[in-house]
Amino acid sequence: MSTDPATYARLREIASRLPAVPGISKVEIANGMITMTMMVFAEAALESAAPALLPHEVVLVVEVVSTSNPENDYENKVHDYAAMGIPHYLLVDPRDGTGIVHSQPGYASREKFAFGDTVPVGPWTIDTSGLLTYA
């Protein structure tokens, strides 16, 4: 999602003043773009002295497909997250109102869905009826 330069500058200034909250990562705003990624992990992972989460601590990654580089989400990240052993990868594509749930070792299981479906993702059930497509 691209932002105009004035909005981008204001968001960076606000983000720089926000305190760190354990378990909540700040939205990365780089090159005028907002990174649309969410990770789910056990609260116990925050008790580690490690400066960052280790891949085996992440249970689910959710990505919103970008309009500028969709291949990265559909190809590179699928390969990378599977190689890291992250058990679930939910890919949401607002370009056409669809998505894919990747699971099983190596993402052998790929379940496609349309916005509006109720989707099982690991131990969760996600109602996608509130998801919107790009304008």
Tens of pLDDT along 46-83?
A: 787 777 788 888 999 999 998 888 999 999 999 999 99
The type of residue at 43 is E
User: Which residue shows structure tokens 């669809």?
Assistant: 98
- Say whether both 2 and 61 belong to one domain: no
Strand partners, 14: none
Q: Looking at 32-46, 48-62, 114-128, which range is the least confident one?
A: 32-46
Residues with Cβ within 8 Å of 15's Cβ and at least 6 positions away in sequence, in order, are 26, 27, 29
Q: Report yes or no on 135 lying in a domain.
A: no
- SS3 for 1? coil
Q: Report yes or no on 3 lying in a domain.
A: yes
Res 36 pLDDT > 70:
no
pLDDT digit string, tens, across residues 73-107: 999 999 999 999 999 999 999 999 999 999 999 99
Q: Report yes or no on 132 lying in a domain.
A: no
pLDDT score recorded for residue 25: 52
Number of domains observed in the structure of the chain:
2
- Say whether both 94 and 79 belong to one domain: yes
pLDDT score recorded for residue 44: 81
Contact 129, 116 (CB under 8 A): yes
Res 120 pLDDT > 60:
yes
Prediction pTM value: 0.72
